[in-house]
Amino acid sequence: MRQSLVVGNWKMNGTRASSILLSQGIVAGLGSNSAQIAVCVPYVFLASVGEIIKDSRLALGVQNVADKPAGAFTGEISATMLNEFGCKYALVGHSERRSYYGDTNESVAARFSQAQAENIVPILCIGETLEQREQNQTFDVVNEQIDAVINLTGIQAFNSAVIAYEPVWAIGTGKTASDEQAQEVHQHIRQYIAAKDQVIADKIQILYGGSAKPDNAKGLFAMPDIDGGLIGGASLDAESFLKIYHSI
């Protein structure tokens, strides 16, 4: 049985004070739910949030990681640096990184590999744009995004990784994929991995992301190949994030 996982992606929001309050609120409401939970915070809040959550089940994550181990790469943050802060997860290839900051399938693969080299679990974000969906390219797009990583790391690297399927047209738009639309792609992704390694396919967590909210999370999480969620907007409020978590 796969464990469920709910991850908050705070993006570029909040202050140090509000991040502390938000993480305190989440920790206070974890209850006895045994599903895994994490927050991907802005780098500069890692230390403050890390201090609040260190004795709890809430795990620490970030939203990106450098594609190189160290050196003259102004503005980048390495996996080694993140490791020092007890960071467990790193998003790689979020669609906002791909579309606004030039991340490519190849650089995302390098980020994935750098995270793993420091025992940080990469959460590989994949998904199609509306145009690609309308042209029936969804499966090809996600296959390519996965292949770029496999080409660099090999399929075995997916033993300690998470995949987040996030249709670009659903991110921050209020338009969620229907339960069936999401399940269809999740099932495809699992089968695509299974064709390379059945054991990994059975155990890898595949999260859904894109306008997941307290009122639609339950239906999505009930789908057989949806193992949890990557939550943007609704993770900025402890109550709504916890409602989503507790609907697992």
In sequence order, which residues have a C-beta less than 8 Å from that of residue 196 and are 6 or more positions away? Answer: 150, 155
Checking DSSP bridges between strand 205-209 and strand 89-92, what pairing results, if any?
unpaired
- The residues facing 179 across adjacent strands are none
SS3 81: helix
Binding residues for ligand PGA (CB under 6 A): 9, 166, 171-172, 209-212, 230-234
In whole angstroms, the minimum distance from the beta carbon of 12 to ligand PGA comes to 12
d(Cα 53, Cα 41) in Å, to the nearest integer? 12
Closer to ligand PGA by Cβ: residue 200 or 220: 220
| Cβ density class 69-90: b for 16+ within 10 Å, e for less | eeeeeeeebbbebbeeeebebb
**Cβ-based nearer residue to ligand PGA, 108 or 200:** 108
Least distance in angstroms from the C-beta of 166 to ligand PGA: 6
Residue with the closest Cβ to ligand PGA?
Answer: 232
177 φ/ψ angles, rounded to the nearest 5 degrees? -65, 145
Nearest alpha-carbon partner for 170 in 107, 122, 213 = 213
Distance in Å, CB of 93 to ligand PGA, minimum: 11
CB of 171 to ligand PGA, least distance (A): 4
DSSP class per residue in 187-204: HHHHHHHHTT-HHHHHH-
94 or 190, CB closer to ligand PGA?
A: 94
Which residues are catalytically annotated?
Answer: 94, 166
Q: How far is the CB of 176 from ligand PGA (least distance, A)?
A: 8
C-beta of 9 vs 64, nearer to ligand PGA = 9
Both tokens of 128, joined, read 């199609």
Comparison of 171 and 200: residue with beta carbon closer to ligand PGA: 171
